[in-house]
Structure 1
Amino acid sequence: MVTVADGRAEREATKVMVDDALQAAKDSDTAITPGADKSYDAAEFADASLEMNVTG
């Protein structure tokens, strides 16, 4: 995946990769836990993570 370095690119790419991982999971209740740094504390990313059943 290629993104533009705009301060949000890593979070946006992570959402795409997590969505891909969830689609590939055999169990629809699978929880995904990505490793992330402090910049992932943004409210928008946290809300999107909760909607995707991402734990942290």
Structure 2
Amino acid sequence: MTENDGDWWFCLKHMKVEHGPGCPNKDRMGPYDDQDAAAHALEKARERNRQWERNG
């Protein structure tokens, strides 16, 4: 597996980025294409929630 496999996750249990196998998917957000996208998963979710609340 290479770093460009698109198998990046953000673990909600440990609050950190994971690559490849890691915690169960029920505890993770993703997969993401790269490490940076996974690192910003919570920020992106907050942004989408704010947009939904404004437009909902």
Decide: shared fold, TM above 0.5.
Answer: no
TM-score (norm. length: structure 1)? 0.30
Q: Which structure shows the bigger proportion of residues in strand conformation?
A: 2
TM-score (norm. length: structure 2)? 0.30
Q: Which structure shows the bigger proportion of residues in helix conformation?
A: 1
Greater radius of gyration (CA):
2
